[in-house]
Amino acid sequence: MHSTPLTIPFNHYRFHFETEHPVRLPDFPGSAWRGAFGHALKKTVCVVRNTPCAQCLLKNACAYSVVFETPPPPGSEKMRKYNAAPHPFVLRFPQQDAIDTSYALDIILFGHAERYFPYIVHALQKAGLDGIGGHRQRFELHHIDYLDAMEGEQTLYREGELQPRPPASMPKIPDPPESITISLETPLRIKQDGKNLTPDYFNFGKFFANLLRRQSMLSYFHTDTPLETDFAGLTKQASATHCTDTKLQWHDWTRYSSRQQTEMNMGGLLGRFSLEMQGNEAFWPYLWLGQWTHAGKATSMGLGAYRIIPTSLPGEEKSTKWSSID
- pLDDT digit string (tens) for 191-236? 988 889 999 999 999 999 999 999 999 999 999 999 999 999 999 9
What's residue 194's pLDDT?
82
- Is residue 259 over pLDDT 90? no
Contacts of 45 (CB under 8 A, 6+ apart): 62, 63, 64, 119
Mean pLDDT of 255-272: 73
Class of domain 179-311: alpha beta
Other C-beta atoms closer than 10 Å to the C-beta of 210 total 21
pLDDT tens-digit map of 105-118:
999 999 999 999 99
**Listed range (141-145, 300-304, 315-319) with the worst mean pLDDT:** 315-319
What's residue 16's pLDDT?
97
What's residue 117's pLDDT?
97
What's residue 260's pLDDT?
54
- Tell me if residue 282 falls in helix, strand or coil: helix
User: What are the Cα distances from residue 272, in Å, to 122, 129, 203, 229, 279?
Assistant: 37, 37, 12, 28, 21
What's residue 258's pLDDT?
59
- Residue 265: pLDDT band (50, 70, 90) is confident
What's residue 264's pLDDT?
63
Mean pLDDT of 44-72: 89
Give me the phi and psi of 188, to 5 degrees please.
-95, 115
Delimit the CATH 3.30.70.1900 region(s) of the chain.
179-311
What's residue 314's pLDDT?
45
Burial 275-308 (b: 16+ CB within 10 A, else e): bebeebeebbbbbbbbbbbbbbbbbbbbbbbbbb
**pTM of the predicted model over 0.75:** yes
What's residue 2's pLDDT?
55
Distance CA 98, CA 309 (A): 26
Mean pLDDT of 82-99: 84
CATH for the 10-162 domain, from 1.10.287, 3.40.50, 3.30.450, 3.30.70: 3.30.70
Mean pLDDT of 165-175: 93
pLDDT tens-digit map of 274-288:
999 999 999 999 999
- Tell me if residue 44 falls in helix, strand or coil: helix
- Residue 323: pLDDT band (50, 70, 90) is low
Give me the phi and psi of 42, to 5 degrees please.
-65, -40
- Is residue 82 over pLDDT 80? no
- Is residue 3 over pLDDT 80? no
Select the more confidently predicted residue: 323 or 124: 124
Distance CA 15, CA 24 (A): 18
Distance CA 310, CA 195 (A): 32
Mean pLDDT of 164-181: 94
238: left (phi over 0), alpha (psi -120 to 50) or beta: alpha
User: What are the Cα distances from residue 274, in Å, to 73, 177, 240?
Assistant: 38, 12, 15
Burial 15-48 (b: 16+ CB within 10 A, else e): bbbebeeebebeebbbbbbbbbbbbbbbebbbee
Q: Where are the alpha helices (DSSP H) in 61-195?
A: 63-64, 117-130
- Residue 324: pLDDT band (50, 70, 90) is low
What's residue 278's pLDDT?
93
